[in-house]
Amino acid sequence: MKNHESHVILENVSIRDAVEKMAVEQFDLLVVVKKDATVISVFTSGDFHNAVLKGIDLNNKVSTIANKNFSFLSENYSFQDALKLFKEKKIVAIPVLKNNKLVDLLNFKNFSQIDPSYFKLKDKKIKTVIMAGGKGTRLDPFTKVIPKPLLPIGDDPIIELIMKEFISHGLKDFFITLNEKAKMIKAYFNDHNMEYNIKFVDEKKQLGTVGSLRLLKDVLDDVFFLSNSDILIKNNYSEILSFHQNGDYKMTIVGAMKQHCISYGVCEIETDGKLKSFKEKPTIDYLVNTGFYVINPSVIKYIPKDTYFDMTDLLKSLMNKGERIGVYPVSEKSWIDVGQWKELGNTLNDVRFN
C-alpha cells in the first residue's frame, strides 16, 4: 500500500485527533508508534466506539485504548500468508513489520482473491428509507429553486452520494419519501441510469421529519436504515447494524461526537455560593443526532397516520413506552451535513469531494 505513513500516529496523540485523522484518511485502521517509530498497537473505529460508550475522556492518549494484540506480518511474508490472515481475521488492513518498525500496510482491496462481501452487510435485502420531503428552508434562497436533496456536492447531488455510500455497503433497495418539489427529484432519477432500485413515496401534505414513515407500514417488514436527505455517514454500516441487533434495540441513533468550547471561564459552586472550582474556556463533548438511524419495523406503529410527526415525537413515544433505543457514536469527521449554510460550505471545501 502506497503512502502507508499517512496511516501512522504517535502514541501521545489524543483519541479525538486519532479518530479525526482516521475519518479524513477514510481508512479503518491506524498504526500507533513511539517516537522512534516502534509499532506498539493499532487503533480502529471500534476502539473509538468502545471508548465513547465507556465514557473515556477523548483527550486521553490513543495508546491507552489502542489494541496491543494486533495481527501483523513480518517483512518476508508470502502472498499466501497475507491471504490467509485476511480471510481468517476478516480485517481490512495488515501491518508489515521489520524489527518492530512499519515497512508496509496491506489493504484487502489490493487482493483480488478476497471477496469484498466480507466487509459488507451480509443481508443485502435490507431496505433504506431516505426522507426527502422537507422544504430545506435553512438553505434559502437556493432551495427556493433547487430541492435540497439535489444540491450538488462535487459532481453529484447529495442524495446520490448518500445512495452511493449505501451501495458501497451492498445495499440497493431504496424508498424516497417526497413532498416539496417532488417532480424535480423524480425527473432527476428518471434521466439517469441508476444501479439501484427506487420506489418513491408521495406525501399528500407535510408530515414532519418522520411522519411519512407511516406510509411504509405495510412494506417495511424487517430492520431498515433511515437517513435524512442532507447528511452522509462515512462509517462501517455493518458494525452499526450489528450494534443495533446485538443490543436488542428497537431503534438506534447514529450520534456524532461534537466538541463545544465555552468561550468564558466557568464557575462551579457549592450550595452556599462558595466557589468550588474554576475552569477557563472548558470544552464539552456531545453526541449529536446525525439524522441516520437503524429501525425495527415495529416502531412504525408509534407514528400516527396522516399526522405531522417529528423524530423528537417518535423518540419521546418510544421512551415513554420503555422501548430500548441505542446510540452508536461516530467521529464528527464521519458525519457530512449540508443542511445549513456553514456545514454546506465546509463540505464543499472538503478534500473528499474535490
> Please, what are the domains in the chain?
4-118 (3.10.580.10), 121-353 (3.90.550.10)
Tell me which DSSP letter residue 61 carries. B
Q: pLDDT tens digits, residue range 7-48?
A: 999 999 999 999 888 888 878 889 999 999 999 999 998 899
Most confident option among 62-71, 124-133, 256-265:
62-71
Q: pLDDT tens digits, residue range 127-167?
A: 999 998 766 555 555 555 577 788 877 778 889 999 999 99
- Model pLDDT, residue 111: 73
- Cα 232 to Cα 23, 115, 160, 333: the distances in Å are 13, 26, 10, 11
> Residue 141, Cα to own-chain centre: how many angstroms?
29
Q: Which of 94, 82, 89 is nearest to 119 (CA)?
A: 89
pTM of model > 0.85: no
Burial class (CB in 10 A: 0-12, 13-18, 19+), 172: middle
- Model pLDDT, residue 117: 59
- Average pLDDT along the chain: 86
- Model pLDDT, residue 119: 57
Residue 118 pLDDT exceeds 60: no
Three cell numbers at 60? Answer: 486521553
Least confident of 145-154, 298-307, 315-324: 145-154
Q: pLDDT tens digits, residue range 221-260?
A: 999 999 999 899 988 898 899 999 999 999 999 999 888 8
Residue 269 pLDDT exceeds 70: yes
Burial class (CB in 10 A: 0-12, 13-18, 19+), 264: exposed
- Model pLDDT, residue 195: 76
Q: What share of the chain is helix, strand, coil (3-state, %, to 5)?
A: 35, 30, 35
